[in-house]
Amino acid sequence: MNLFEKFQSGLTYEDFLVRYANEGQKQRWKQVYDNVVLKAEQKQLLESFQRCMNVLCLAGAWCGDCINQCPIFQHFAQAASVLQVRYLDRDDHADLQKELQINGGNRVPVVVFFSEDGFEVSRYGERTLSKYRQLMRDHVGPSCPTGIALPGDPLLVQVTADWLNEFERVQWLLRLSPRLRQVHGD
């Protein structure tokens, strides 16, 4: 399967919500979007990105994990003109869903990063480390502490930082790519 062709057929954030979200879901996506706040240094980092990053997100408008994470990507794309994020619905793209399974399951959101010329660079998704830490605290409780609880930042702030770390990692991978450095003469 050519995943870059899937990216090229993907929808913008707004078009994805228009096509797939009902009014209640749209309101939930907007509520999370409105609560995402990028710190000045996060915006500065995103603005410093130079390599085009094509990002495919397999999602579901109905999915709580998507509602709580995909609006973060929209903020990133608004801060970094080199980010092109496109969305495809998991249920309408069963072939892609199967290709991007995590741990044998159909999970969303799953993100695939591509270079400007369509090479796959990375895959990431479903939930971030901060979310899994929170789930462990909630489900396992104090009888089995992880020792990695992070007091302070609300979960949305932590998840935003987790995702930004992956976007940054991919950007630096692209910036340091010998192939792309040759193309761009840097």
Residue 176 has pLDDT above 80, yes or no: yes
Can you give the pLDDT at residue 142?
58
Which one-letter DSSP state was computed for residue 83? E
Can you give the pLDDT at residue 149?
47
Going from N- to C-terminal start, the domains of the chain cover 3-184
**pLDDT (tens digit per residue) in 94-137:** 999 999 999 999 999 999 999 999 999 999 999 999 998 889 88
Which one-letter DSSP state was computed for residue 10? P
Q: Classify domain 3-184 at the CATH superfamily level.
A: Glutaredoxin (3.40.30.10)
d(CA 131, CA 128): 5
Residue 151 has pLDDT above 80, yes or no: no
